[in-house]
C-alpha cells in the first residue's frame, strides 16, 4: 500500500469528492483524519472506511476558522506524530450562468474570497507543521475554468485560477523544507453529488450538458470521482516525490484544447471530421 504509515487530513471529507479521496487514501494504507462542518456526514464516510478495514478518525472542524484548524492539527500531531498529507476539498456556494456584465459584485466575489480563505488557512497551518518535520504534501482541487476560458462561470473561474497560483507560490517557498504542493484540476465528475442533484432535478437538460462537456474533451469522456482519487493517491505517495509546484490536469484533455469538432472514424456520424482550419 503506497500510503502506508502516512497521516492524511482531509478537509471537506463529507462531500462527494472529499469522501472519494478519503476512501482512496485509506485503501492505500493512510491513516485518515476526516473533518467537516457536518459531523454526521463525515462519520458516515468513516464508517465506510472502517467497514473496509481502513483507519479513519473524525472531527468537526470549520475549515474557515484559523483557530479551529490549528487546534485540530495540534491534536493530530499529538496523536499521530506527523501530518504527511493535507487535502482541502471544501466546497463553497457559487452563483453561475450569469454574464459577468450582469452579476453583482457580492455574487462574483463570494466564491473567490471563501475559496481562498479556507485554502490559505489550511495550507498555512499544514505548511508550518511540515516545515518543522521536513516533509509533507499540501494538495488542492480546482476545475476546468482554472485552465481555459469558460463563459458564465462567474467567480468560480477566477477562484480556480487563484488556487492554482497559490499552489505554485506556496510550493516555491516550501520546497526548500522538503514540502511539496500540488493541485489537481478536475473536468467535473458526472457521478459527483452536484451533478447527480442536477440530473435528478432536470434530467433532460443535464443529459445535453454532460454530452456537450464530453464532446469538448479529447477522450470523449469525463473523469469520474475514482479517477480524481487515484491521481490524488499517486501524488500523495513517494512515487511522485519530485512533483511539486504544478497543477495536474485530469480534465480528459479539455484544457489542452476544445475537441468538439473531432470525431472518431468509428463514430455513428456519416462523415469523419479531419483536423483542418476552415475559412
Report how far residue 238's alpha carbon sits from residue 75's, in angstroms, rounded to the nearest whole number.
Answer: 25
In a domain, 210, yes or no: no
Closest-CA residue to 211 (of 171, 170, 173, 260): 260
266 pLDDT tier (thresholds 50, 70, 90): low
Which range scores top for mean pLDDT: 19-23, 93-97, 189-193? Answer: 19-23
% pLDDT > 70, the chain: 95
What is the domain-level CATH number for residue 166?
A: 3.40.50.720
Output the pLDDT for position 209.
Answer: 87
Report how far residue 262's alpha carbon sits from residue 49's, in angstroms, rounded to the nearest whole number.
Answer: 41
In a domain, 145, yes or no: yes
74-89 mean pLDDT: 97
* Cell numbers that stand for 93 in this block: 456556494
The H or E element containing residue 7 is strand 7-11
In a domain, 138, yes or no: yes
Output the pLDDT for position 83.
Answer: 97
In a domain, 206, yes or no: no
pTM: 0.90
In a domain, 218, yes or no: no
In a domain, 59, yes or no: yes
278 pLDDT tier (thresholds 50, 70, 90): very low
Q: Which of 63-77, 102-116, 250-264 has the lowest mean pLDDT?
A: 250-264
Output the pLDDT for position 268.
Answer: 52
Terminal CA-to-CA distance of the chain, rounded, Å?
A: 54
In a domain, 211, yes or no: no
Kindly report the average pLDDT of the chain as a whole number.
92
In a domain, 150, yes or no: yes
* Cell numbers that stand for 96 in this block: 453561475
Q: 31 lies in which domain range?
A: 7-189+224-252
How many structural domains compose the chain?
A: 1
DSSP for residue 202 = -
Amino acid at each position: 500500500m503506497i500510503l502506508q504509515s502516512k497521516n492524511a487530513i482531509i478537509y471537506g471529507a463529507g462531500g462527494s469528492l472529499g469522501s472519494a479521496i478519503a476512501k482512496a487514501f485509506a485503501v492505500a494504507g493512510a491513516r485518515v483524519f476526516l473533518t467537516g462542518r457536518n459531523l454526521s456526514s463525515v462519520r458516515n464516510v468513516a464508517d465506510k472506511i472502517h467497514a473496509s478495514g481502513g483507519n479513519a478518525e473524525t472531527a468537526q472542524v470549520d475549515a474557515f476558522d484559523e483557530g479551529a484548524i490549528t487546534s485540530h492539527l495540534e491534536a493530530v500531531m499529538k496523536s499521530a506524530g506527523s501530518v504527511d498529507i493535507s487535502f482541502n476539498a471544501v466546497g463553497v456556494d457559487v452563483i453561475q450562468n450569469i454574464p459577468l456584465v450582469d452579476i453583482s459584485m457580492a455574487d462574483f466575489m463570494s466564491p473567490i474570497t471563501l475559496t481562498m480563505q479556507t485554502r490559505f488557512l489550511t495550507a498555512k497551518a499544514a505548511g508550518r507543521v511540515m516545515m518543522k518535520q521536513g516533509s509533507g504534501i499540501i494538495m488542492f482541487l480546482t476545475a476546468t475554468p482554472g485552465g481555459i476560458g469558460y463563459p458564465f462561470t462567474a467567480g468560480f473561474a477566477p477562484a480556480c485560477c487563484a488556487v492554482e497560483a497559490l499552489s505554485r507560490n506556496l510550493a516555491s517557498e516550501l520546497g526548500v523544507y522538503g514540502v511539496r504542493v500540488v493541485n489537481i484540476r478536475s473536468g467535473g465528475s458526472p457521478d459527483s453529488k452536484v451533478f447527480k442533484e442536477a440530473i435528478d432535478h432536470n434530467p433532460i437538460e443535464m443529459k445535453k450538458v454532460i454530452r456537450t462537456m464530453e464532446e469538448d474533451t479529447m477522450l470523449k469522456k469525463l473523469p469520474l470521482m475514482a479517477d480524481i482519487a487515484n491521481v490524488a493517491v499517486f501524488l500523495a505517495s513517494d512515487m511522485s516525490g519530485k512533483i511539486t509546484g504544478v497543477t495536474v490536469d485530469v480534465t480528459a484533455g479539455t484544457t489542452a484544447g476544445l475537441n468538439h469538432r473531432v470525431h472518431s472514424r468509428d463514430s455513428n456520424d456519416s462523415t469523419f471530421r479531419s483536423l483542418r482550419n476552415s475559412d
